[in-house]
């Protein structure tokens, strides 16, 4: 029983982290109709900035705030310098250009920080496990991720649903030409949205960094999951991304946790332990396939409201 | 005029190259030079280059030419690169291979062309058993050997139950099988994770905690070892269940694992402080040539591979067409290994000692690996009986 609670928390934590990454991606894809493969690079840059600033200032929280600002600025600069010229083009051009950016960022990181990767050590108050219920200990840092991600999700909800900026963003997701025709400065809106997406990706990266290592190409595997999430959730929909991310996080973690034991009751022990990891990593893609067959628009499409 | 000049120059070069090739020893080196595990490939290349420096960049009086190829940690790419080295570069030896799955994919191309392949790391069980070949040698170990030593050590420590975690690929399966073959207590759980993409081990760590085992054994090479150890400590498990490792803490991962690694034991056939003269020279010169870096066991095995090849080439006085004579010489392991003397089994896998290593703070306050004890001497892999070679 205790194990089930712990595994649910693991799934929730992973799902919320994926949400931060997917939220930026779905905003950019949904509103700007721009396929950004380099989103994973911004995730990586967030982690590298955090490792650098934390080492430089000696203060974990301050370092992270500086890193968030740096990723935001990097996102805005990237949009201004490179991506702005690609909006009118085909999706294939976006893919090509942003794939080039992935290579650019990987090699830039190799030049600046070297190939070996960095560590982002946690302050002592985050490394202790906390008793959330009698007998259930959970790492303080993973709890912190859950709290921060929930707060960010709430803030995003408030900004998107309750402010003028959010109204414009939603309008942009529904009909781009129309809000341009109404005299909204669409260029500025795009730059802001892209910067926001970059900061969210950076936040995901720097929060993941103490659990994993800060290394070149760290954003590439997880980006695939983020794309799966925005497809399941419906492109451009924050709410869809949130629910789909929790869903995917749960399926991934619970699949890994309980599938091997389930299989062991049916198959021999060795066959089960080989088949289980393969099967559990397939579950997410099965879910995506099913969603694509039944609801090709995703579970919560943005422009159908 | 200018064009003509270049043409003449290019022709001269084109003519000169094959003539030079015949007078040199050509070695292909397949390892991982890109992606998160590129640091391992770099260490192997650094050590191999250092060995060539120590040999005067000549073997049997002939200059040595090395072609480095990047496998990107992918079996299909490793196979392509091996085929390229064999077919178009026509190398005399192929060295390297960090990953067992990459080596297994590449093996046939090398063996079919009767090119000598020296594995400087990977040691899948198949290579020691049914897939053994006269043309394949190892300067490392068979995968099971190192965890077997760890299993013996856990018996010494009186551990009654263990929870095993490892990656789901050829080496991960060998490693966990190795521990199980020598550990006398109960195995209460066995988890395989998706390799190399899964980097979050929360689900596995939760299960290990719930199992209430006496100990956890893991095998996570490269960056995954850093990630596993971070998460193990963050989960508060370091105070609850002690960790025993194989290939999880080394000189590349230690600067990132930092204090988390203190006091966590591992088994290894080579440690940087082994007291023989060759090893002292290797470690000292490595640190001189590559400031800020320390050699790892991956590097030590690559350094040995260069010396193994040299022993063969010297024995035939640089005539690399005498393959039988070179094979016979390499079977004697007639060179001074940095791990100390070892013998080859008939399957060309070393019969060697394994040491217990621990993470300590050295005199300068830096974290380093230290030999604590010899766990086992003359360890031979469990698969040599399956090898048909005599």
Q: In the beta sheet, which residues pair with residue B355?
A: B268, B374
- CB-facing half-sphere around the CA of A140: CA atoms within 13 A: 11
> Quick one: pLDDT at residue A27?
87
Of A7, A211, A278, the CB nearest to B230: A211
Q: Above 0.90 for ipTM, yes or no?
A: no
pLDDT tens per residue, range B265-310: 999 999 999 999 999 999 999 999 999 899 999 999 999 999 999 9
- Selection from B210, B159, B215 nearest residue B184 by Cα: B159
Question: What does each C-alpha distance from B263 to A135, B260, B297, B357, B370 come to in angstroms?
Answer: 27, 9, 19, 9, 11
Instruction: Specify whether B36 is located in the same domain as B128.
Output: yes
Evaluate whether residue B286 is within a structural domain.
yes
pLDDT averaged over 10-residue windows placed end to end, chain A, 305 residues: 86 94 89 90 96 94 96 95 89 93 93 86 86 82 94 92 87 78 86 93 94 86 91 88 94 87 79 77 90 90 59
Evaluate whether residue B106 is within a structural domain.
yes
A257 contacts on B by Cβ (under 8 Å): 203, 206-207
Closest Cα of chain A to B163: distance in Å? 14
Instruction: Specify whether B105 is located in the same domain as B7.
Output: yes
Instruction: Specify whether B252 is located in the same domain as B294.
Output: no
Instruction: Specify whether B282 is located in the same domain as B315.
Output: yes
Residue B166 to residue B175: CA distance in whole angstroms: 8
Instruction: Specify whether B150 is located in the same domain as B127.
Output: no
Instruction: Specify whether B103 is located in the same domain as B220.
Output: no
Question: What does each C-alpha distance from A273 to A95, A144, A265, B165 come to in angstroms?
Answer: 37, 32, 11, 11
> Quick one: pLDDT at residue B362?
84
List of residues 6+ apart from B156 with CB closer than 8 A: none
Q: With 60 as the cut, is the pLDDT of residue B1 above it?
A: no
A277 contacts on B by Cβ (under 8 Å): 168, 192-194, 198
Instruction: Specify whether B295 is located in the same domain as B172.
Output: no
Evaluate whether residue B208 is within a structural domain.
yes
Instruction: Specify whether B359 is located in the same domain as B238.
Output: yes
> Quick one: pLDDT at residue B62?
94
Displacement of CA A89 from its chain's centroid (Å) = 25
User: Is A116's CB within 8 Å of B230's CB?
Assistant: no
Evaluate whether residue B348 is within a structural domain.
no
> Is A2-294 a CATH 1.10.3470 domain?
yes
> Quick one: pLDDT at residue B9?
52
Instruction: Specify whether B236 is located in the same domain as B367.
Output: yes
User: Is A137's CB within 8 Å of B236's CB?
Assistant: yes
Confidence band, pLDDT 50/70/90 cuts, at residue B18: very low
User: Is A274's CB within 8 Å of B190's CB?
Assistant: no
Of B198, B200, B234, the CB nearest to A141: B234
In the three-class reduction of DSSP (H, G, I as helix; E, B as strand; rest coil), residue A138 is classed as: strand
What average pLDDT score do residues B66-92 get? 95
Q: For an interface test with B, which of A125, A128, A205, A212 has the most B Cβ atoms less than 10 Å from its Cβ?
A: A212
Average pLDDT, chain B: 91
Residue B79 to residue A31: CA distance in whole angstroms: 44
Left (φ > 0), alpha (ψ -120 to 50) or beta: where does B96 sit? left
Evaluate whether residue B37 is within a structural domain.
yes
> Quick one: pLDDT at residue B22?
56
> Quick one: pLDDT at residue A216?
87
The A-side interface with B (CB below 8 A) comprises 2-3, 6-7, 10, 13-14, 115-119, 121-122, 127-129, 137, 139-142, 210-213, 215-218, 221, 253-254, 256-257, 260, 269, 273-274, 276-278, 280-281
Evaluate whether residue B95 is within a structural domain.
yes
CB count within 10 Å of CB B385 equals: 10
Of B194, B207, B227, the CB nearest to A3: B207
pLDDT tens per residue, range B168-226: 988 999 999 999 999 999 999 999 998 888 888 988 999 999 999 999 999 999 889 99
Closest Cα of chain A to B236: distance in Å? 5
Confidence band, pLDDT 50/70/90 cuts, at residue B15: very low
> Quick one: pLDDT at residue A305?
41
Residue B72 to residue B86: CA distance in whole angstroms: 19
User: Is B206's CB within 8 Å of A3's CB?
Assistant: yes
The stretches of A82-185 forming alpha helices (DSSP H) are 91-113, 124-127, 140-162, 164-174, 176-181
**How many structural domains is chain B composed of?**
2
Q: With 50 as the cut, is the pLDDT of residue B252 above it?
A: yes
Q: pLDDT above 90 covers what percent of chain B?
A: 82
Instruction: Specify whether B287 is located in the same domain as B367.
Output: no
User: Is A215's CB within 8 Å of B223's CB?
Assistant: yes
User: Is B198's CB within 8 Å of A142's CB?
Assistant: no
Instruction: Specify whether B97 is located in the same domain as B115.
Output: yes
Is the separation of the CB atoms in A245 and A86 below 8 Å? no
Residue A91 to residue A93: CA distance in whole angstroms: 5
Of A10, A122, A140, the CB nearest to B202: A10
What average pLDDT score do residues B134-143 get? 96
Across the A:B interface, residue pairs with CB atoms under 8 Å apart total: 108
> Quick one: pLDDT at residue B2?
52
Question: What does each C-alpha distance from A61 to A50, A58, A128, A218 come to in angstroms?
Answer: 10, 9, 17, 22
B375: CATH: 3.40.50.2300
Closest Cα of chain A to B296: distance in Å? 14
- HEC profile of chain B: CHHHHHHHHHHHHHHHHHHHHHCCEEEEEEECCCCCCHHHHHHHHHHHHHHHHHCCCEECCEEEEEEEEECCCCHHHHHHHHHHHHHCCCCCEEEECCCHHHHHHHHHHHHHCCCEEEECCCCCHHHHCCCCCCCEEECCCCCCHHHHHHHHHHHHCCCCEEEEEEECCHHHHHHHHHHHHHCCCEEEEEEEECCCCCCCCHHHHHHHHHHCCCEEEECCCCHHHHHHHHHHHHCCHHHCCCEEEECCCCCCCHHHHHHHHCCCCEEECCCCCCCCHHHHHHHHHHHHHCCCCCCCHHHHHHHHHHHHHHHHHHHCCCCCCCHHHHHHHHHCCCCCCCCCCCEECCCCCEEEEEEEEEEEECCCCCEEEEEEEEEEEEECCCCHHHCCCC
Instruction: Specify whether B17 is located in the same domain as B75.
Output: yes
Q: Report yes or no: B181 at the A interface, CB cutoff 8 Å.
A: no
Q: With 60 as the cut, is the pLDDT of residue B20 above it?
A: no
Displacement of CA A292 from its chain's centroid (Å) = 21
CB count within 10 Å of CB B72 equals: 18
Closest Cα of chain A to B256: distance in Å? 5
Torsion of CA B254, B29, A219, A94, to 10 degrees: 160
Q: Which two tokens stand for residue B340?
A: 């100390």
Residue B254 to residue A106: CA distance in whole angstroms: 23
A259 contacts on B by Cβ (under 8 Å): none
Is the separation of the CB atoms in A213 and A280 below 8 Å? no
User: Is B197's CB within 8 Å of A281's CB?
Assistant: yes
Counting DSSP H helices and E strands in chain A, the numbers are 12, 2
pLDDT tens per residue, range B27-49: 999 999 987 788 999 999 999 99
Domain span at B245? 145-268+354-379
Q: Report yes or no: B186 at the A interface, CB cutoff 8 Å.
A: no
In the three-class reduction of DSSP (H, G, I as helix; E, B as strand; rest coil), residue A136 is classed as: strand
List of residues 6+ apart from B121 with CB closer than 8 A: B44, B96, B97, B98, B99, B140, B298, B301
Q: Report yes or no: B197 at the A interface, CB cutoff 8 Å.
A: yes
- Minimal-distance CA residue of chain B relative to A129: B236
Evaluate whether residue B388 is within a structural domain.
no
Q: Report yes or no: B226 at the A interface, CB cutoff 8 Å.
A: yes
User: Is B203's CB within 8 Å of A257's CB?
Assistant: yes
Of A2, A221, A273, the CB nearest to B197: A221
In the three-class reduction of DSSP (H, G, I as helix; E, B as strand; rest coil), residue A139 is classed as: strand
- Minimal-distance CA residue of chain B relative to A1: B210
Evaluate whether residue B311 is within a structural domain.
yes
- Minimal-distance CA residue of chain B relative to A280: B194
Question: What does each C-alpha distance from A82 to A33, A45, A89 come to in angstroms?
Answer: 16, 17, 13
């Amino acid at each position: 029983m205790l194990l089930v609670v712990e595994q649910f928390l693991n799934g929730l934590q992973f799902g919320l982290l994926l949400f931060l990454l997917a939220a930026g991606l779905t905003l950019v894809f949904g509103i700007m109709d721009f396929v950004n493969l380099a989103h994973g690079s911004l995730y990586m840059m967030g982690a590298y900035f955090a490792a650098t600033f934390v080492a430089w200032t000696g203060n974990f929280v301050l370092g992270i705030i500086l890193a968030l600002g740096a990723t935001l600025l990097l996102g805005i600069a990237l949009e201004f310098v490179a991506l702005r010229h690609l909006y009118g083009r085909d999706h294939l051009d976006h893919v090509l250009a942003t794939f080039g950016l992935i290579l650019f960022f990987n090699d830039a990181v190799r030049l600046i920080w070297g190939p070996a990767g960095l560590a982002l050590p946690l302050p002592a108050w985050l490394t202790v496990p906390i008793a959330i219920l009698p007998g259930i200990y959970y790492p303080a840092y993973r709890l912190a991720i859950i709290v921060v991600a929930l707060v960010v999700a709430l803030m995003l909800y408030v900004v998107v649903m309750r402010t003028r900026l959010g109204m414009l963003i939603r309008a942009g997701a529904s009909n781009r030409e129309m809000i341009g025709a109404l005299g909204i400065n669409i260029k500025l809106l795009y730059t802001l949205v892209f910067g926001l997406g970059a900061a969210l990706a950076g936040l995901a990266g720097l929060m993941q960094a103490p659990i994993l290592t800060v290394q070149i190409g760290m954003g590439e595997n997880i980006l695939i999951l983020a794309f799966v999430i925005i497809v399941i959730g419906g492109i451009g929909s924050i709410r869809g991304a949130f629910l789909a991310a929790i869903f995917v996080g749960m399926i991934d973690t619970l699949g890994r946790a309980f599938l091997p034991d389930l299989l062991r009751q049916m198959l021999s022990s060795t066959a089960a332990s080989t088949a289980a990891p393969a099967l559990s990593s397939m579950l997410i893609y099965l879910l995506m396939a099913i969603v694509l067959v039944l609801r090709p628009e995703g579970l919560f499409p943005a422009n159908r409201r | 005029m200018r064009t003509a000049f270049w043409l003449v120059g290019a022709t001269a070069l084109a003519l000169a190259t094959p003539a030079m090739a015949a007078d040199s020893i050509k070695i292909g080196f397949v390892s991982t030079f890109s992606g998160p595990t590129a640091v391992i490939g770099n260490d192997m290349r650094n050590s191999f280059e250092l060995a060539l420096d120590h040999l005067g960049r000549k073997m049997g009086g002939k200059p040595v030419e090395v072609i480095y190829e990047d496998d990107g940690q992918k079996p299909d790419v490793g196979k392509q690169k091996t085929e390229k080295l064999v077919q178009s570069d026509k190398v005399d030896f192929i060295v390297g291979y960090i990953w067992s799955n990459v080596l297994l994919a590449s093996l046939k191309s090398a063996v079919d062309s009767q090119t000598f392949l020296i594995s400087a790391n990977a040691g899948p069980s198949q290579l020691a058993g049914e897939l053994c070949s006269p043309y394949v040698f190892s300067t490392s170990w068979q995968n099971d050997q190192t965890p077997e030593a760890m299993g013996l050590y856990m018996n010494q420590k009186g551990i009654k139950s263990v929870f095993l975690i490892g990656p789901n690929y050829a080496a991960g399966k060998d490693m966990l099988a190795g521990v199980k073959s020598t550990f006398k207590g109960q195995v209460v759980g066995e988890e395989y994770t998706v390799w190399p993409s899964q980097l979050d081990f929360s689900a596995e760590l939760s299960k290990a905690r719930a199992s209430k085992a006496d100990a956890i054994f893991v095998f996570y090479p490269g960056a995954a070892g850093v990630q596993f150890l971070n998460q193990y400590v963050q989960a508060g498990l370091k105070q609850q269940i002690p960790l025993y490792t194989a290939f999880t803490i080394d000189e590349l991962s230690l600067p990132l694992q930092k204090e988390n690694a203190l006091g966590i034991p591992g088994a290894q056939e080579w440690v940087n402080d082994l007291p023989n003269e060759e090893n002292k020279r290797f470690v000292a010169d490595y640190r001189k040539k590559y400031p800020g870096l320390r050699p790892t066991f991956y590097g030590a095995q690559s350094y040995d591979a260069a010396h193994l090849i040299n022993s063969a080439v010297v024995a035939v006085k640089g005539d690399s067409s005498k393959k039988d004579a070179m094979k016979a010489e390499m079977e004697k392991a007639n060179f001074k290994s940095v791990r100390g003397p070892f013998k080859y089994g008939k399957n060309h896998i070393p019969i060697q000692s394994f040491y217990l290593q621990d993470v300590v703070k050295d005199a300068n306050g830096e974290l380093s690996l230290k030999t604590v004890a010899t766990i086992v001497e003359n360890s031979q892999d469990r698969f040599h009986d399956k090898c048909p070679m005599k």
